Structure 1
């Protein structure tokens, strides 16, 4: 038994040491590894993802949050070279307290002639640039990167703000070893929220710690010598330590189709300060947030939110002119909405609070999202409408599933009607329309903040489908060439997306893009309603093309949807453990009329197909009719759900498989 116990201790010790990866010490085995053993498709992998976050007491600043990082990456392919450029974003406003990055060291390791060669990242390879008025970025470029290189990075981030950055367990590449530790003093209360579909249970422990306060006093003076007395006192406290350790964590890759913000679905843990308790050291208890009611009231009571809504004098004269000719509430809304959009330009900053204030923004004509939409909300209220601001988390910011102050970074506007209906408005976007919010806002749910500071959940996903209607008339030539007319109509969100994408470029560039996409030559091109956002976009294209018809032994073979067919299933992965995110419901319709060459008849054509997804989530219909020298096709693809849960992935994958097979199936013409 003693021998067995002794052997167990030895093995445990060896295993523990094997887990220790020291900065700057790279093995030949790491450098000689040709591919990641558990995922041969990986272009790179984290050999180590290590982090320690703790609170440190500073005599001048009080508690600050210190996070030490160490990451080691193995690069397997040229595509993995992207990981040889590291970007670290940190908070550095133009004025006020800033975060600081220190103790930065980095190396590139290669193996040459069986020798390990290390190259230190020099100061000239580290760039510091101001991204905007709030944030800066450290950019590190590793030297001498090759297939097989290992890069090693270590640095410390110190923040005066009592926040703990999210712990991410999954990334776009696999993680061979993850080692995180978070140490929180008893004075701070953090709520924790799991995100994604990969979880690591923490190992909890406690540490006893001490803060030493030092001070000095002087006595004497005049005829008496000055005497300096030094004083010190100690305060003992306890810190709670959460440790997360895991090996061989799979990647969630960014190239999966319809992923939305992939970071929403990668496993991890988010922290939010919900309270502080300094009663033990002569301070007080402060609650920051416990439920949605507290969250909304805290935000509403802010001088940069609720108070800004109450200011009205600065726009009164303009408002009287704007609504003077309006015959009903809908005309009032349209007039005010269009006025705010044209008067104030969005500066590109997402925000839930004002910065310069609504008066200054109104006067100067430039503001952040909160300023613009709070002005819109206030003007609508002053015009007698039941309007409220809506707190939003943009798609790139995350999903606030639980009560959180930090979970929102944007404000939009809602107008309620007596019959229970409502419309959503966002005046930051030139081409938006009532209930046509910018893509960045289509992120599950928002919180409507009422006049008393209470709130209620609002669905941000539109109920109307984003529609694209295709009417295609094609005439076939016996030689295999085609000519025809295509009329595309874009409605609702698709119309806004079209304008955002194409109204900012030259028409010849739009034509070139279409010719390359469809492999056609465009003879005539016209777009209707490009600036009239109340109407759908209508695109008329006269074209000709080749290579759509294959001639074999007096037979012609072609797909009746030609260049409009979906030729490839976007869903290729064997499995998927996060949702399919279309962002909004959508519908594509196709009406095709084909005139076949004289002397030919239809030998065969694809049969009808009608399939659906579970719970009415989507449909695909396809039907062909032949009438003399005419072939007519009607088809529709429609998804009624914006977000499809991962357990339906196989159903959607098979749905698209059948769709692609049907849309690429050939019609066969035979010469009489």
Structure 2
């Protein structure tokens, strides 16, 4: 009890020690002496302080506002695993030929203790780099100098944006804890935003409204004097000043000791979906007080979809067809079934236009140019596909999607969508979803990047509705193994693996470009076997599943102890670890798709041995038919046959079932680890 009180007092002391001034460049000795984060000793680093100040600045010469965001970060590095926080990446919008954001006023220091004294190393310009990531975005890369275990790094910079409709999301929670957080967002009355919290850590802001005065300079150019001197006539230029006042809304977010939300659990869609924060979505811009316009923005998903549809880079692109008519007519679609028309056009677009790797719901080059140059972004390709399907007489429409990297759009927002695919609805109200950016995709088998809950189908009149993106087909892996055991306890065998549906797509994307020698080496190292023959079928024939056939031998699959043989029935397919480690999980388990793993193993009992013990049968299920595990090992003549089925019927399992799921996998791992025991006859 005394120890517990002492520890509590120590933690309280550590948290209260530096109730200090967080002025930039003034790091205390106590911060440098701190050995671990008091509330989470597993943290590799922590934000000792993070501040953000976002406000609107009026540019008199240009007569417009811009958004300025000032950032100040102070990070404690506890160990070598925290060194990666010494590299800071600052993304910013930097499109070609358009208004750009900028990052400026970058300052930084690294503080360390050297022989009991504070050592301060300044960030040099040579450690600041700018890299172009793609046509739209760049990033500043800052590499902090002289980082050691126990160092404190401090960074300050300013991000300036001409895009006044967009306030970047506030992030309260990170992969490391935050000791002290201070954010301010100041918005003039001309801009009205919806504010929505997200994630599992919320901060209620303090709100303050007040007036702000602004003096606006007006340049007046008068008429020439009328006196000709043979030179250019002079003009009378005068300046007048106009004052006006407007209301501003100031939001202040202040918090202490925010726990980390680490990205160390499996089957997480996008951890940023669940980290605490606040989103701002423009609702109205109103400059009528200054003689300007008033404009309302999307308030629900129907409005969002209509606004996107009205864009010249979306809806009108669907009406363009003259550039591909002749090529499409040459495909001889007349008389074919609707499904065959879909398959033919889908394959034509995939082979004709290559994806450049850029996501967007809006075209970049436009469908015509993308077709001519044979390359385009997601919208260029899939809006082109939709247009062609319509030209062929099919009921085709675009489907707006938020990619997995973009997160889950829980609230109506334009930026909630960053991707678009195509959908074809048939007369019986069934439909297929298509993504021609993925060479290995099939109808209703979308790549993982596009599988993010639901999409928004947008019809010709701009009306829209939600549509499920997940295929009804299970992502499938089937393994069949047959082995014999010789007198030296060396196993020789054959394994045939079939990958189908999403599993086949993922296999082709991951391995089709890798040399066979590397695939063989990888399999041997992962499974402790030596391969004597290796074949893969249907690598490019998408109409068939991937089939991999391997002949192998191994010295490590049988354990001989005191004349007995011990064998795990599933051999190298055995699951030895439960992937779920946490006692509690707040966010759902996302498998991307429903899936099934079927394993069949046949083991020939070696001469002179008989079965002493086999694992017992097990069949368990999760609630609501979410998943099932079936396991059986039996003797049939001189062979032992094992069959294992692990199947999940839903791609997404709610956090409320986490304990059930963890227990389910505990039992699965435990059962698969039970061994066959053979004894001499």
1:482 and 2:491 aligned: yes
Distance 2:221 2:350 in 1: 64
**1:312·1:378 contact (CA, 8 Å) conserved in 2?**
yes
Please state if 1:586 is matched with 2:589. Answer: no
Contact 2:490 2:558 (C-alpha < 8 Å) held by counterparts: yes
Deviations 1:509-544, CA, capped at 9 Å, x for gaps: 111111111111111111111110011111111111
Instruction: Give the structure 1 partner of residue 180 of structure 2.
Output: 177
2:473 is matched with: 464
Write the distance in 2 (CA, Å) between the matches of 1:627 and 1:576: 43
Equivalent in the alignment of 1:24: 25
Distance 1:61 1:128, change over 3 A: farther
2:308 alignment partner in structure 1: 299
Q: Is 1:210 the equivalent of 2:213? A: yes
Q: Is 2:477–2:498's contact at 8 Å kept on the other side of the alignment?
A: yes
Match of 1:124 in 2: 126
**Superposed displacement of residue 666, structure 1:** 1.1
Q: Distance in 2 between matches of 1:627 and 1:475?
A: 15
CA–CA separation in structure 2 for the residues paired with 1:622 and 1:216 = 84
CA distance in structure 2 between the aligned counterparts of 1:384 and 1:279, rounded to whole angstroms: 47
Given candidates 315, 330, 334, the residue that maps to 2:343 is 334
SS at match of 1:514: helix
**103-112 vs 251-260, which moves further:** 251-260
Deviations 1:563-622 (A, max 9, x none): 101111111122211111111111100111111211111111111111111221111111
- Calculate the TM-score normalised by the size of structure 1: 0.96
User: In structure 1, the residue corresponding to 2:331 is in which secondary structure?
Assistant: helix
- Residue of structure 1 in register with 2:403 after alignment: 394
Cα pair distance change 1:218/1:15, threshold 3 Å: farther
What is residue 9 of structure 1 aligned with on the other side? none
1:426 aligned onto 2:435: yes
Residue 637 of structure 1 is matched in structure 2 by: 646
CA RMSD in angstroms, aligned pairs only: 1.7
Evaluate the alpha carbon distance shift between residue 323 and residue 29 of structure 1 in structure 2; reply closer, same or farther with a 3 A threshold: farther
The question of 1:221 aligning with 2:225 is answered yes
Cα offset, 1:193, TM superposition: 2.5
Provide the residue aligned with 2:389 in structure 1. 380
Contact 1:323-1:335 within 8 A present in 2 as well: no
Shift of 1:476: 2.0
Is this contact kept in 1: 2:534–2:549, CA < 8 A? yes
Q: Gaps (5+ residues) in structure 1?
A: 1-13
Are positions 1:445 and 2:454 aligned together?
yes
In structure 1, what is the Cα distance between the partners aligned to 2:538 and 2:323? 34
Displacement of 1:269: 1.1
Match of 2:283 in 1: 274
2 CA distance for matches of 1:23 and 1:383?
64
Q: Check if 1:47 corresponds to 2:56.
A: no
Deviation at 1:217, TM superposition (A): 2.9
Distance 2:679 2:18 in 1: 75
Pair 1:559 & 2:568 matched: yes
Q: Using the alignment, how far apart are the partners of 2:18 and 2:447 within structure 1?
A: 52
Tell me if 1:656 matches 2:659.
no
Cα gap change, 1:326 to 1:531, in 2 (>3 Å): farther
Task: Give 5+ residue unaligned stretches, structure 2.
Answer: 1-14, 229-233
Asked if structure 1 preserves the Cα contact closer than 8 Å seen for 2:17 and 2:30, the reply is no
Partner of 1:107: 109
Q: SS of the residue aligned with 1:216?
A: strand
Shift of 1:506: 0.9
**Matches of residues 328-367 of structure 1 in structure 2 within 5 Å?**
328-367=337-376
Q: Which runs of 4+ in 1 moved over 4 A?
A: 14-17, 222-228
The structural deviation recorded for 1:289 is 0.7
Are the counterparts in 1 of residues 569 and 633 from structure 2 also a CA contact under 8 Å?
no
Q: 8 Å contact 2:18–2:30 — kept in the other structure?
A: no
CA distance in structure 1 between the aligned counterparts of 2:647 and 2:581, rounded to whole angstroms:
20
Asked if 1:540 is matched to 2:543, the reply is no
**Structure 2 length as normaliser, TM-score?**
0.94
Deviation at 1:227, TM superposition (A): 5.8
Deviations 1:403-433 (A, max 9, x none): 2111111110000011111000000010000
Residue in structure 2 matched with residue 76 of structure 1 by the alignment: 78
Whether the 8 Å CA contact 1:323–1:332 is kept in 2: the answer is no
Distance in 2 between residues matched to 1:334 and 1:596, nearest whole Å: 49
User: Do 2:18 and 2:31's aligned partners in 1 also have CA atoms closer than 8 Å?
Assistant: no
SS of residue in 2 equivalent to 1:611: strand
Tell me the alpha carbon deviations over residues 284-331 of structure 1, each in whole angstroms, 9 at most, x when there is no partner: 210121112211111111111111100111111111111436521111
* C-alpha displacement of 1:229: 3.7
Q: What is aligned with 1:134?
A: 136
Q: How many residues align?
A: 659
C-alpha distance in structure 2 between counterparts of 1:28 and 1:670, whole Å: 68
Other-structure match for 1:506: 515
Q: 1: CA distance between counterparts of 2:283 and 2:131?
A: 33
Cα drift, residue 639 of structure 1: 1.0
Question: 2:204, 2:637 → 1: CA distance?
Answer: 69
Is residue 309–residue 378 contact of structure 1 (8 Å, CA) maintained in 2?
yes
Aligned partners of 1:359, 1:218: CA distance in 2, in Å?
A: 47
Shift of 1:194: 2.1
For the pair 1:67 / 2:69, whether they are aligned, the reply is yes
SS at match of 1:363: helix
